[in-house]
Structure formats: structure tokens, C-alpha cells
Structure 1
């Protein structure tokens, strides 16, 4: 009686591990955010205490807008914090 042919089985190849994307922030991120928020707070406090004569005397009450601008940039960066 003839011998039946044997099938060649495909060699098992283990699935490759997926590279895990680095989740987190760069090292400079937190100090910059904290710095922006502290600068905003100091800017607004100094503007109020000096009746908007400082930090920049020539822009008057717009010093308040500059302080809030720093705060908005800092808070905007916080939305990207992981």
C-alpha cells in the first residue's frame, strides 16, 4: 500500500511586540507652565498694586490684559498635559 504524503506545517512565528508610544510630557513642560502662571499672577498683582503704572507704564490698564494673556497661555498648555 502506498504511503500518504505528509503536509508541511507552516512554522509558527510569534507576533511582534508593538512598540508602546511614550506617553507623557517633555521635561521642560511643567516648569514652563508653572512659570507662565506665576508670571501672570505676579504681573496682575503688581498692576493692581501700582494702579496700572507698572510693569509697563506706557500701556496703562492693558497691563491687566498682558497678565491674563500669560495666564491663558499657561492654562492652554495645561490642556495638553498628559
Structure 2
């Protein structure tokens, strides 16, 4: 039975050296996870206070329905920050 030829090892090209030059980002600092949780919790607590007080808290009265946007805004910021976590 015939034996297949052995392949020669590939020479290192520039494409492999440039990929080695790229280094991955270092891991996130320890406080980064707390920041993500803080944004989530602030948004959820803000929405709960708005709903349970029927908007009667000082400062929330003037915003009216925009309070929902503020609460969900904190949650969305928390989601955006969580995509940068390594």
C-alpha cells in the first residue's frame, strides 16, 4: 500500500507574527462587577419607588411618566457596561 507524502512544516509568515503582536485586554478590575450591579439595582429600585409611591416622591412629581425612562435608562447603562467586562 502506498504511503502518503509527509508535509513540510509551514514557515512563519507575517500574518502569524501580526496576530501574535495583538494582545488581549487585561481582565477588568474587581470593582467593575460592583459597578454593573449598582446600575442594575439603582434602576430597579428607582422604578419600584416610582410605582409604589405613585410618583409622589419629591422630584419624581415633576418628571411624570419620564420616571420610567430614567429607571430603565439605568438598567440599559448597566447592560452596556456589562458588555465591556472581561
Q: Would you call these one fold, judging by a TM-score over 0.5?
A: yes
Alignment RMSD (CA, Å): 1.9
User: How many residues are matched?
Assistant: 64
TM-score (norm 2): 0.63
1:56 aligns with 2:67: no
Structure 1 unaligned segments of length 5 or more: list them: 1-17
TM-score (norm 1): 0.66
1:70 aligns with 2:44: no
Residues in 1 aligned to 2:44 and 2:54: alpha-carbon distance in whole angstroms: 15
Structure 2 unaligned segments of length 5 or more: list them: 1-20
Superposed counterparts of 1:21-32, under 5 Å: 23-32=26-35
In our comparison, the structure showing a higher alpha carbon Rg is 1
Residue 43 of structure 2 is matched in structure 1 by 40
Residues in 2 aligned to 1:22 and 1:63: alpha-carbon distance in whole angstroms: 37
Higher relative contact order (CA 8 A, sep 6+): 2
